[in-house]
Amino acid sequence: MTNVLDRRTLLQIAGATAGATVLSGATIAAGTAQAADTAFRHGVASGDPLPDGILLWTRVTPSADALPGSGIGPDVQVRWQVARDPDFATVVTGGVLTTGTARDHTVKVEVTGLAAATTYWYRFGYDGAWSPPGRTMTAPAADAAIDRLRMGVVSCANWEAGHFSAYRHLAERGDLNLVVHLGDYLYEYGTGEFAAAGRVVRPVQPTHEVLTLADYRIRHALYKTDPDLRALHASVPWVITWDDHEVANDQWSGGAGNHTEGEEGAYVDRLAAARQAYFEWMPVRVGTEGAIYRRLRFGQLLELSMLDLRTYRSQQSSGTGVDDPDRSITGEAQMTWLKNGLTGSTARWKLVGNPVMIARLDVGSLPAWLLGPLGKLLGIPENGGVINADQWDGYNADRNELIDHLRTAGTRNVVFLTGDIHTSWANELTTRSTGTTNPAAAEFVVPSVTSDNINDFLRLPAGNGLSTLAASLIRTTNGHVRWTELDGHGYGVVEVTPQHCRMDWYHLADRTSPTSGSRWVAGWSAGAGSSKLRQETSAMA
């Protein structure tokens, strides 16, 4: 019998216990809700599910002055428990960890020995109180036959630009197996520097641009006071990667557009501070030398490769520099890892968590690669003028290498899940070699949770004539762009079955309202064996 990874099935699974013994004395009498809210005010989270394990996270506040970034507070012991039921009547494993100011009183637990494809509940205990419980689930075994997997997809959550209603809607669905966050989990700007079409909906802390370790810790902590973010973290495991704003805008391997060397200190110090705070505050596994590009498998159905497109990239360029084969967005080692992983995968579907858009965005009447030698003579980049050299358009050689490799190897069922650009797109990936009628892969681009997009920059209402015209012109001059919408904020829901990979886009009614509703706006799918996209006429059931 095949496993169906939906909510009904997962809630009914009576998986084997972890085989671990609960530590003697690990049971703590339930404290008052007030005590739990005080000690565990930043919630709980889980991430990077494996068939036999999961990563758990929380932050404890052991005293009133032990605030994030303060460097104040004692070293304390925090207990943790994992159970097969929400009442913790059947605890399968637990333990004790020590935390303190060296890690900003955060706690990360690598739990192993769990049963595959099983729903678990977890909690943390300190000073007689338990944290609010979290719900998580392990991945199916690598060879398990899976009928369906659903995930929420999000990107670009700017605190000052609104409320995180997108997270609330995803948390309330009840049919998700995980959430994929594609970067810009937070923003580094000072208050008023990047808000909702110029209006600050809720001010950030610290109020200045974040530069130091304490600054980044405070900003991470602020985000985890949002009730909708905490609810989504507590409901399903997350698989995350970073983009640039976790450090500074337009970050590259040696600096960032939003960093002034000297005046704002040394970039290497700022990067180290941002990375340390990120690793402390996020439920993400960290590899050798801080690497976070990694791959997770979910039975025979799919593998998910999460990219890091900031740590190893060359500095952004312009003009014909975007065609320079010596420049890279991935770095050589990650590109090799990605190509080998995609072509060598035995999973039915190969999904790629991709922080910035990979599809070409050709401008002008014709892309330069159709003009042949004349394009080189005129100094026109391969795909015509580049609007955004921070995405894969600024690194044509890497994109050509990857997409042509997929076509040469005959690798099918590759879908890129993308964030960053704050707008909604359904793309077919093509290069000179593939031609416009034979895409090598598909791409689904999710809108921002709150960050400004086209109509916000224009100071116009959503659905205005200029935004609609721009979307129409993009589709007309870019045949591989099957659909785009430039004004909405919200989230995506991806469903993967053996037959298709589909994304549904949902847009918020009002990102500035904490009670905003949402509506389905589009659905597109790729069928197994083909990267040609098909438009859906209604929301998935």
Q: How many CA atoms lie within 13 A of 51 on its CB side?
A: 10
User: Domains of the chain: which residue ranges?
Assistant: 7-137, 149-536
Q: Check if the beta carbon of residue 493 is closer than 8 Å to that of residue 173.
A: yes
**Model pLDDT, residue 372:** 61
How far apart are the C-alpha atoms of 61 and 522, rounded to whole Å? 43
- Check whether 113 has a pLDDT greater than 90: yes
CA 335-340-341 angle, to 5 degrees, is: 95
Secondary structure class of 33 (helix, strand, coil): helix
Q: Give the pLDDT confidence of 195-226 residue by residue, as tens digits.
A: 999 999 999 999 999 999 999 999 999 999 99
Question: Would you say residue 193 has pLDDT above 50?
Answer: yes
Q: What is the DSSP string of 191-232?
A: TTSS-BTTB-SS--SSSSPP-SHHHHHHHHHHHTT-HHHHHH
The domain made up of 7-137 is a member of CATH 2.60.40.380: yes
The crossing angle, in degrees rounded to 10, of helices 396-409 and 332-344 is: 20
Res. 162: pLDDT tops 60: yes
The answer to whether the beta carbons of residues 474 and 361 sit under 8 Å apart is: yes
How many angstroms separate the CA atoms of 293 and 307, rounded? Answer: 5
Judging by beta carbons within 10 Å of its beta carbon (0-12, 13-18, 19+), is residue 311 exposed, middle or buried?
Answer: buried
Contacts for 108-111 with beta carbons within 8 Å, 24 or more apart? 108/55, 108/56, 108/57, 108/280, 108/283, 109/55, 109/56, 109/57, 109/80, 110/53, 110/55, 110/285, 111/18, 111/53, 111/54, 111/55, 111/56, 111/82
CATH of 149-536, picked from 1.10.10.10, 3.60.21.70, 3.90.550.10, 1.20.1050.10, is 3.60.21.70
Classify strands 238-240 and 178-181 as parallel, antiparallel or unpaired. Answer: parallel
Report how far residue 248's alpha carbon sits from residue 258's, in angstroms, rounded to the nearest whole number.
6
The answer to whether 453 and 423 have CB atoms below 8 angstroms apart is yes
- Tell me: pLDDT of 407 over 70: yes
Give the E-state strand segments of 263-396 in sequence order: 294-298, 302-306, 349-354
pLDDT at 401: 96
**What is the per-residue pLDDT across 130-157, written as a single tens digit (0 to 9) for each?**
999 999 999 999 999 999 999 999 999 9
**Backbone φ and ψ of 254, nearest 5°:** -120, 10
Residue type, 443: E
Residue recorded with tokens 């899940």: 417
At 400, which helix (H) or strand (E)?
helix 396-409
Output the pLDDT for position 323.
93
Q: How far is CA 172 from CA 116, 165, 167, 355, 514, in A?
A: 24, 11, 9, 25, 15
Residue type, 151: M
Can you tell me the mean pLDDT for 244-253?
A: 98
Rounded mean pLDDT, 168-178: 97
Q: What is the pLDDT of residues 413-451, one digit of tens each?
A: 999 999 999 999 999 998 776 667 789 999 999 999 999
Average pLDDT on 290-307 reads 98
Cβ-based neighbour number of residue 340 at 10 Å: 12
If one compares 105 and 379, the residue with the highest pLDDT of the two is 105
| pLDDT score for 4 | 36
- State the pTM of this model: 0.92
Domain 149-536 in the same topology as domain 7-137? no
